[in-house]
Amino acid sequence: MQDYTPAQQRVLDAAAAAFSEHGFGGTSTRDIAVRAGRSPAAVYVHYSSKEDLLFAVSRRGHEAALRAMLDARDTATCPHDRLTAMVHASTLWHLENALLARVVQHEFGALTEPHRSTIAALRRETSQLVVDAIEDGNASGDFDVADHDVTGTARALLSLAIDLVRWFSPDHLDRAEGIANLNVRLAERMVGSRHRPPPRSPSTGR
Amino acid sequence: MQDYTPAQQRVLDAAAAAFSEHGFGGTSTRDIAVRAGRSPAAVYVHYSSKEDLLFAVSRRGHEAALRAMLDARDTATCPHDRLTAMVHASTLWHLENALLARVVQHEFGALTEPHRSTIAALRRETSQLVVDAIEDGNASGDFDVADHDVTGTARALLSLAIDLVRWFSPDHLDRAEGIANLNVRLAERMVGSRHRPPPRSPSTGR
DNA sequence: CTCGGTGATAAGCGAACGCTTAGGTAAGCA
DNA sequence: TGCTTACCTAAGCGTTCGCTTATCACCGAG
């Protein structure tokens, strides 16, 4: 991932917050500048256009989400643990970075080429991680997902985390762990995992 | 639901298409007018503001989605059929009305009071339908959802359909039935349903 | 024929938009 | 001391925005 200078970072953070709250089209570069404590022209010192700024926000978010899943995958040694670790990590990433995640997941349509293709590739890479994990589990006999359901199930598993950004408020970070654990339990059921640890004591939930 | 005159309907449809493609903030009332084949001023003959127009689109969509679920619920006589009918109907509604559904699900944040409260109430009513269905299934012994997981599971079930609008294109309506059936199978697993019909032959899937 | 209602438009208001340009400051280096 | 680099700002351009107003056309009813 590209490194950003402190000045670029400041504008990027301000943009992420503004895009999250108002959407790409409802956000003005003047608003971003005010949030960054800079003049409107300063935005263009670092980014060539408003859409370029969105691309930087989107790419940073996708890369971070992908890394969280890759790191989780690499901690596990069996298909069950691999999948559940990734679901848990993905859910936590989306909840802990809800504002950035909302931009990442909801503003794809505002991107133009070639930025759009770059982000689409990141999304496919992320999806493929889940597909691979399901196939590994099927092969080991741990999971029970029909071949023609693998892609759709992978997509549904990703949606468990992604759709949270529509409503989850960073004010309720105390609920994040509980939601992540619920998603893990739901994921185990969705793939028909035989390898289910003993029931945990109820942590949190709404 | 309120009836709309043909002229109001025309502007409403144009607004739904524009909001779906560009988001509320990225859509201009001039764009809506062009899509409706009218002048910019004509929009204001029927709707008092751009946000009022969004509210009308959003309310119409939420009411239609809610009705689809209510109709599905009322065709069923046991908890399993009730839940699976609702998941199937909700999935189909979101796929068959993907443009409207995208506005409905993603532009809530652009609404202002008291419109926002009206829509929030519709959303709660919709969620409660799923919560009730899970509780009925638990009570009958058909489902196996821990008490503290009911609300979270209901939300996850709704997300199966809702998150589809982020990417689903109306160009692929031929895949709708397959996706709805997959969501039904996933929902059965998520609630731990013991009442599972014999496996169907594979219909469609990606 | 007149009036009222419905629906529509051309033209425009005041404000804001994305972005550019000319000029400035501070720090580091030779 | 002078130059380079990084970062910044005030001011402004041309365009677009949400919305309003004055006026018009058509139709149905009395």
ipTM of the complex, rounded to two decimals? 0.90
pLDDT at B4: 82
What is the C-alpha to C-alpha distance for residues B27 and B19, in angstroms, rounded to an integer? 6
Contacts of A151 in chain B (CB under 8 A): 205-206
Which residue in this structure is represented by tokens 């609404």? B111
Q: Which of residues 92-121 of B touch strand D (CB under 7 A)?
A: none
Cross-chain Cβ contact A149/B182 below 8 Å = yes
Q: E strands along A42-152, which residues?
A: none
- pLDDT tens for A160-190 read 999 999 999 989 999 999 999 999 999 999 9
- Judged by DSSP in three states, B180 sits in helix
Using an 8 Å Cβ cutoff, are A93 and A64 in contact? Answer: yes
Contacts of A205 in chain B (CB under 8 A): 148-149, 151-152
pLDDT at B201: 41
In DSSP notation, B142-179 reads S----GGGHHHHHHHHHHHHHGGGGT--GGGGGGHHHH
What count of CB pairs under 8 Å joins A to B?
A: 96
Give the mean pLDDT per block of 10 residues along chain B (206 residues).
80 96 97 95 94 96 97 94 97 97 96 96 97 96 96 98 95 95 98 72 41
Q: Which nucleotide is nearest to B45 if distance is taken from CA to C1'?
A: C7
Residue in B with minimal Cα distance to A28 = B25
Residue of B104, B128, B149 for testing the chain A interface, max A β-carbons within 10 Å: B149
Contacts of B206 in chain A (CB under 8 A): 151-152
Dihedral sign computed on CA atoms, order B29, B33, B36, B38:
positive
pLDDT mean over A80-104: 97
Domains and CATH numbers, chain B: 50-190 (1.10.357.10)
Place A203 in a pLDDT band, splitting at 50, 70 and 90. Answer: very low
pLDDT of A46 over the 50 cut: yes
What is the C-alpha to C-alpha distance for residues A89 and A77, in angstroms, rounded to an integer? 16
